[in-house]
């Protein structure tokens, strides 16, 4: 069963989302050539603590960090390390926090310094796929409509969606029903209803859609080592439309 939230609960999650968006903005500004992803982890921990919140990811299914920091071919769930960011990398940050009884979750991808034209295009396409998907998130539509919109747009631009990873419901638990796939068929899947809160997170590959584990044992990367990109927002269905909770 897909849990529904009251307007009051959604407002709590909206405030949490504003906090998370502000933290993400600081992390993005701190991400530059020469910094390690472990330094970003330290910063994320401090900012979450200063917000009187709790990190959602630390300890979840054994995950050892607060932040996910995936570089280039890495897709998601990569723990920060002593890896030094360099000019031309693209970095995906994924972060969740818990406060006042509710989780929120967000991911962004951005260039480190100057990057290739194709890397910029991959980022823009993935970001637009998320925007298009959010427009489909309204009462009367289905989760198949969301996934179909993402995949059709991404493939029309010459890229592939990662089919083995997906978004999810969110609220009192970090992962709730339903799974929010990045592919699907129109009018299929559960119907979107008032009070649903979920994460839409297109993950897109420049090459193959096949994935493999990263050496740390937690993360995922593209099997062919092609560039990957990831964006995510937590959204709520309120008055029939999608409201983005993870923005300032």
CA separation for the pair 9, 5 (Å, rounded): 6
Give the Å distances, CA to CA, from 174 to 71, 82, 98, 102. 24, 27, 9, 8
The total of structural domains in the chain comes to: 1
Question: Does residue 1 fall inside a structural domain?
Answer: no
Contact 159, 202 (CB under 8 A): no
Question: Does residue 173 fall inside a structural domain?
Answer: yes
Question: Does residue 169 fall inside a structural domain?
Answer: yes
Phi, psi of 210 (to 5 degrees): -75, 145
Residue whose entry in the numeric block shows the structure tokens 């289905």: 142
Q: What range defines the domain where residue 83 resides?
A: 7-244
Question: Does residue 27 fall inside a structural domain?
Answer: yes
Give the Å distances, CA to CA, from 207 to 47, 114, 211, 230. 35, 21, 11, 14
CATH of the domain at 79: 3.90.230.10
CA separation for the pair 122, 228 (Å, rounded): 8
Query: Considering only CA atoms, which of 180, 198, 202 is closest in space to residue 236?
Result: 198
pLDDT in tens, the chain (248 residues): 999 999 999 999 999 999 999 999 999 999 999 999 999 999 999 999 999 999 999 999 999 999 999 999 999 999 999 999 999 999 999 999 999 999 999 999 999 999 999 999 999 999 999 999 999 999 999 999 999 999 999 999 999 999 999 999 999 999 999 999 999 999 999 999 999 999 999 999 999 999 999 999 999 999 999 999 999 999 999 999 999 999 99
Question: Does residue 188 fall inside a structural domain?
Answer: yes
Question: Does residue 97 fall inside a structural domain?
Answer: yes
CA separation for the pair 27, 55 (Å, rounded): 15
Evaluate if pTM is beyond 0.85.
yes
Q: Which two tokens stand for residue 180?
A: 């929010």
Question: Does residue 58 fall inside a structural domain?
Answer: yes
Give the Å distances, CA to CA, from 49 to 11, 56, 140, 196, 234. 21, 12, 39, 28, 21
């Amino acid at each position: 069963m897909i849990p529904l939230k009251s307007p009051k609960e959604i407002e709590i999650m909206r405030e949490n989302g504003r906090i998370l968006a502000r933290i993400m903005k600081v992390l993005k500004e701190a991400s530059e050539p020469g910094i390690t992803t472990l330094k970003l982890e330290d910063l994320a921990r401090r900012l979450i603590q200063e917000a009187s919140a709790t990190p959602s990811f630390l300890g979840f299914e054994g995950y050892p960090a607060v932040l996910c920091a995936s570089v280039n071919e890495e897709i998601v769930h990569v723990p920060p390390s002593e890896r030094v960011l360099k000019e031309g990398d693209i970095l995906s940050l994924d972060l969740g926090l818990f406060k006042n009884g509710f989780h929120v979750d967000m991911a962004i991808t951005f260039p480190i310094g100057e990057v290739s034209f194709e890397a910029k295009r991959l980022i823009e396409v993935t970001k637009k796929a998320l925007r298009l998907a959010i427009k489909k998130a309204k009462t009367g539509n289905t989760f198949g409509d969301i996934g179909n919109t993402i995949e059709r747009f991404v493939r029309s631009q010459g890229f592939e969606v990662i089919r083995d990873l997906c978004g999810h419901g969110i609220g009192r638990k970090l992962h709730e029903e339903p799974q929010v796939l990045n592919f699907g068929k129109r009018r299929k899947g559960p119907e979107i209803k008032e009070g649903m809160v979920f994460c839409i997170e297109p993950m897109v590959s420049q090459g193959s859609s096949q994935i493999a584990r990263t050496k740390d044992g937690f993360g995922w990367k593209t099997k062919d080592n092609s560039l990957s990109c990831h964006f995510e927002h937590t959204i709520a269905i309120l008055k029939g439309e999608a409201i983005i909770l993870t923005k300032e």
